[in-house]
């Protein structure tokens, strides 16, 4: 038996073993707060997806407590529209980072499908939305709220299964207040008004995000635009989501009404939860005679790209895999908006209120300042080295005749 690799905190994770059980395979995608890898549960000999949080969360007791609590709660949920959570572990300072072992969905994300195919017809929208609402409904019945419904968190398998992932992570991250900027700003287009103003929500916040998702699937755009994520988020406090038919011709009136109800600025005017929204969707599908449809997985997904780097896979999943290791800078980003945790907005665009999504704006300011200081340090270091090299070359040139 070959010796088992242990986790190396300073090196790449591919080939490492977490908790003596999960062998880390090819890197699928990275983001500001985590990386996702293919993996293998060597104890049960089954493929898994490993969502490994950034090492800065290791040792953060507040985050780890919430992380573990949310993982246990989500693991109890059962619905075909949910990505199953199998296990969680890690988190010791200086050791393994926190991670989740989850169901591996071979396919891609809804975001990747939108990029490939553009806006969807109503019957395809219904096929995507139905399992998403079913999964959310199961969570809502258990008293859980997702808080981060968006195309990046909707997975589509090669068999056409649609599942929603990443339950509980936003709440755990926001409570830890370590990456509030990257998490919240990456979700700004889908936040409910009460999330923007107060920072908290209930099942109706997920309903609002689902309504924005319907709008985007039909039109290939989100309802609000702005110079920066904060400006986009704050627009929903004073403006209703427009009907999808105002952006693209041919959208049935029933879908305009579905979006209007789901995205009411007053939570009391929305569907009470995902189950009620799902019932309305089913009624619309019957009324319009929408055909059943199998949602295709994206062809050029991060999952498929990571699988293509396997040079000589073996049938022994628990044994060594001969792969070309995909570096972090090669992997597709998990979060397309401000995945590095830094924001590209200017001070004059900040809202007048002192809080955004329940978080002090000073936290966003200091996160941006830290990123700028790091960049400035490296610029100064490079310029200093260049100046020293130039001075050395000049000195050598002027004294070359003396040396000869």
Q: What is the pTM of this model?
A: 0.75
Higher pLDDT, 195 or 345: 195
Classify burial at 116, counting beta carbons within 10 Å of its beta carbon; exposed 0-12, middle 13-18, buried 19 or more. Answer: middle
Residues 332-341: pLDDT tens digits?
A: 555 444 433 3
Per-residue model confidence (pLDDT) at position 340 = 39
Q: Which of 6-15, 236-245, 312-321, 384-393 has the highest mean pLDDT?
A: 236-245
Q: Is the pLDDT of residue 39 over 90?
A: yes
346 is catalytic: no
Domain spans, the chain: 1-104, 108-288
- CATH topology identical between 1-104 and 108-288: no
Q: What pLDDT score does 1 carry?
A: 38
Alpha-carbon span 269 to 224, nearest angstrom: 20
User: Is CATH 1.10.510.10 the right assignment for the domain spanning 108-288?
Assistant: yes
> pLDDT value at position 175?
60
Kindly state the percentage of the chain with pLDDT values over 90. 47
Task: Report yes or no: 210 and 136 within 8 Å, Cβ to Cβ.
Answer: yes
Mean pLDDT over each residue of the chain, to the nearest integer: 79
pLDDT attached to residue 129: 98
Pairing mode, strands 154-157 and 99-102: unpaired
Q: What percent of the chain has pLDDT over 70?
A: 71
The CB-side HSE value for 357 (13 A sphere, CA atoms) comes to 29
Please report the pLDDT score of residue 62 as a whole number: 81
Predicted pLDDT of residue 173: 62
pLDDT recorded at residue 242? 97
Q: Between these two residues, 257 and 358, which has the higher pLDDT value?
A: 257
Q: Is the pLDDT of residue 355 over 60?
A: no
Compute the half-sphere exposure of residue 49: CA atoms within 13 Å on the CB side of its CA. Answer: 23
**pLDDT-derived band of residue 250, with 50, 70 and 90 as boundaries?**
very high
109 pLDDT exceeds 80?
A: yes
167 against 109, higher pLDDT: 109
Give the pLDDT of residue 110: 96
**Cα–Cα distance for residue pair 247/265, rounded to 1 Å:** 20
Distance (Å, whole) CA 200 – CA 218: 28
* CATH class of domain segment(s) 1-104: alpha beta
pLDDT band at 127 (very low <50, low <70, confident <90, very high): very high
Query: Given a cut of 80, is residue 299 above it in pLDDT?
Result: yes
The catalytic residue among 87, 148, 337, 342 is 148
Top-confidence residue, 45 or 376: 45
Lowest mean pLDDT among 64-68, 221-225, 243-247, 284-288: 64-68
Give the Cα separation of 286 and 295 in Å (integer): 19
Tell whether the model's pLDDT for residue 214 goes beyond 60: yes
193 closest CA partner among 214, 207, 213: 207
């Amino acid at each position: 038996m070959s010796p088992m690799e242990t986790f190396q905190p300073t090196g790449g994770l591919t080939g490492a073993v977490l908790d003596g059980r999960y062998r880390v395979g090819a890197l699928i995608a990275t983001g500001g707060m985590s990386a996702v890898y293919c993996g293998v549960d060597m104890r049960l000999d089954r493929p898994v997806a490993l969502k490994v949080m950034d090492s800065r969360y290791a040792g953060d007791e507040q985050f780890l407590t919430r992380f573990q609590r949310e993982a246990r709660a989500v693991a109890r949920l059962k619905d075909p529209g949910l990505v199953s959570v199998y296990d969680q572990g890690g988190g010791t300072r200086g050791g393994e980072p926190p991670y989740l072992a989850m169901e591996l969905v071979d396919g891609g994300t809804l975001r990747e499908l939108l990029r490939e195919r553009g806006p969807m017809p109503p019957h395809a929208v219904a096929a995507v939305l139905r399992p998403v609402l079913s999964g959310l409904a199961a969570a809502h019945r258990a008293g859980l709220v997702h808080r981060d419904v968006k195309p990046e968190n909707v997975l589509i398998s090669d068999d056409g299964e649609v599942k929603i992932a990443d339950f509980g992570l936003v709440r755990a991250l926001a409570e830890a207040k370590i990456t509030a900027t990257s998490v919240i700003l990456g979700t700004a287009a889908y936040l409910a008004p009460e999330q923007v103003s107060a920072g908290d929500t209930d099942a109706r916040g997920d309903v609002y995000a689902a309504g924005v998702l319907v709008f985007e699937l039909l039109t290939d755009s989100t309802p609000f635009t702005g110079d920066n994520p904060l400006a986009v988020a704050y627009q929903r406090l004073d403006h209703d989501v427009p009907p999808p038919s105002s952006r693209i011709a041919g959208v049935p009136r029933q879908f305009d009404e579905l979006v209007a109800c789901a995205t009411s600025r007053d939570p009391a005017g929305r569907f009470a939860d995902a189950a009620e929204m799902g019932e309305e969707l089913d009624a619309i599908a019957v009324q319009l005679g929408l055909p059943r449809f199998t949602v295709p997985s994206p062809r050029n997904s991060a999952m498929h790209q990571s699988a293509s780097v396997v040079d000589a896979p073996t049938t022994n999943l628990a044994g060594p895999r001969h792969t070309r290791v995909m570096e972090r800078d090669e992997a597709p980003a998990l979060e397309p908006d401000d995945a590095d945790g830094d924001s590209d907005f200017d001070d004059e665009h900040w809202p007048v209120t002192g809080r955004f999504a329940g978080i002090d704006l000073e936290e966003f300011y200091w996160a941006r300042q830290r990123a700028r200081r790091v960049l400035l340090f490296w610029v100064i270091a490079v310029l200093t080295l260049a100046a020293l090299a130039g001075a050395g070359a000049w000195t050598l040139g002027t004294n070359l005749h003396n040396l000869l």
